[in-house]
Structure 1
């Protein structure tokens, strides 16, 4: 039983007439008669009573008419839904982002996307870089944006404008007071930083990766850092540093509030510019919504480069 056979059958059933059905479908009458005969032969049941030149539905025909109407209605709904997806008049896009990206960088872009495509539902899952990569790998998110390094070959990656990393301490921390009047070149050294307490993100976060790399470049062994706290979010790290629990390396996006309110002091770091990365699985079909979101990011990326 094919959809075309069901359409022909329904046209005949609704008109109770082979010729009129053929005219409505732009088919020949023999083609319509052949389709009805094929349905009857396939199921071994008559669908119409032939009374002279008049036809009427049999009980089997009445049952099939009800089912055919429901099936073809669902087919029409499916075709309409696919058209809406194609034209971005409906749809759903799940994003995954590491914490710095998801909490500070991505929300304005999501807001702009929603203004442009209000019928597309956006979901955002926030985790560390490793968790975002797993979500994209498993298909739980179609696009991921991270600040950490991801090396798996199954990802397409697009570099994006990112942030800058700062050495951050609480305003009232004893170490901070010792640095008053010193230039950042004197503060950001292995000697000045060797015997201080540190607050850090958890293993697997992009910020943790970069913090360890920056400190290693300054001559400090990450394995020998005196970690007082290891916390699962940027906000928790910021609040702990504001409470003078130790120093940290943090995105300027995450530190901005504490600096503006006078609770944090920050020093720039060498080679501290950091690109974010957009991840997409190479083997998964890219939805229209994902393509539109990537186009919007590309536009912003081009605008940032031009300014």
Structure 2
């Protein structure tokens, strides 16, 4: 049994989907399937039931998943210790970030980190806030980066910079200038991120702070990425709330218009597990992320 086999099993088990799990650990579906079949063959146990075109965890698979998570977390902690002993010359760091941070803020910090510590390999995945919380809780990631905050007893959350959500519409949308008060937001049709995303959660909280129940907004479409929301807004008369990091170039070009209704600022937050010691690589990367822009 290898750490790679454990990571593959966990990724597939968490999604109960071979292709998605394989993509999460950067394997082809056939390679992921072979890794799982090898585990099943060596230990003479079925970890998944194949139900038509779907897969489901067996009872043995569900029991093994919890142990596999603990074992992989222990392996990563041991790797972190060796990295410290080696003065950050070698090692590995797993991080996970919600989409706005992953796509628009972290890449420059990752480049800085890899330039300073070329011997440290980085496993970097993006997802929504709920997925990042689960990754850090399970030990799949040492550090998580989310928009807003979470209430998770196992995790320590440390805000490290502010962000701003802006309501935008296409500059070609009719009646853009008429929306001047919070109450008139109900007159717009909305493109929203999916439940569980930090952008969606923080937007709903910001609306509540100005007296607007988000459930009263007419929603035209729910999409799973910032880029999909942005594309939909640019090609329609609908509105959306997105990070200034995402929309600034399109406002500057005149393609989008920001509606002048201020929303409360939100925090970008670093997540770590309270009971797991961070590796030297994780501490070094966290220091880079706290440096001024």
**TM-score normalized with structure 1 length:** 0.65
**1:187 is matched with which residue?**
180
Q: Deviations over 1:159-191 (max 9, x none)?
A: 111311111111111232x43xxxxxx61421x
Give the Cα separation in 1 of the matches to 2:181 and 2:122: 41
Give the Cα separation in 1 of the matches to 2:141 and 2:82: 21
Report how far residue 223 of structure 1 moved: 1.4
Q: CA RMSD in A?
A: 2.2
**1:220 is matched with which residue?**
212
Tell me, yes or no, if the aligned pair for 2:136 and 2:142 is still in contact at 8 Å.
Answer: yes
- Note the residue ranges of structure 2 that are not aligned, 5 or more in a row: 1-77
**1:31 is matched with which residue?**
none
Q: Deviations over 1:99-129 (max 9, x none)?
A: 1110111111111111111111112110111
Q: Deviations over 1:7-60 (max 9, x none)?
A: xxxxxxxxxxxxxxxxxxxxxxxxxxxxxxxxxxxxxxxxxxxxxxxxxxxxxx
Give the Cα separation in 2 of the matches to 1:85 and 1:153: 31
**1:170 is matched with which residue?**
170
1:287-306 correspondence to structure 2 within 5 Å = 287-298=279-290, 300=291, 303=292
**2:239 is matched with which residue?**
247
Change in Cα spacing, 1:281 to 1:261, as seen in structure 2 (3 Å) is same
Q: Does 1:117 align with 2:100?
A: no
**2:136 is matched with which residue?**
136
Identify which range, 107-116 or 268-277, moves more after superposition: 268-277
Tell me, yes or no, if the aligned pair for 1:188 and 1:267 is still in contact at 8 Å.
Answer: no
Give the Cα separation in 1 of the matches to 2:269 and 2:260: 22
Q: Give the length in aligned residue pairs.
A: 215
Tell me, yes or no, if the aligned pair for 2:207 and 2:263 is still in contact at 8 Å.
Answer: no
Q: Does 1:159 align with 2:159?
A: yes
**TM-score normalized with structure 2 length:** 0.68
> 2:175 is paired with a residue of what secondary structure?
helix
**2:270 is matched with which residue?**
278
Change in Cα spacing, 1:149 to 1:290, as seen in structure 2 (3 Å) is same
Change in Cα spacing, 1:98 to 1:267, as seen in structure 2 (3 Å) is same
Change in Cα spacing, 1:189 to 1:83, as seen in structure 2 (3 Å) is closer
Change in Cα spacing, 1:82 to 1:221, as seen in structure 2 (3 Å) is closer
- Note the residue ranges of structure 1 that are not aligned, 5 or more in a row: 1-77, 180-185
Change in Cα spacing, 1:243 to 1:271, as seen in structure 2 (3 Å) is closer
1:19-98 correspondence to structure 2 within 5 Å = 82=82, 86-98=86-98
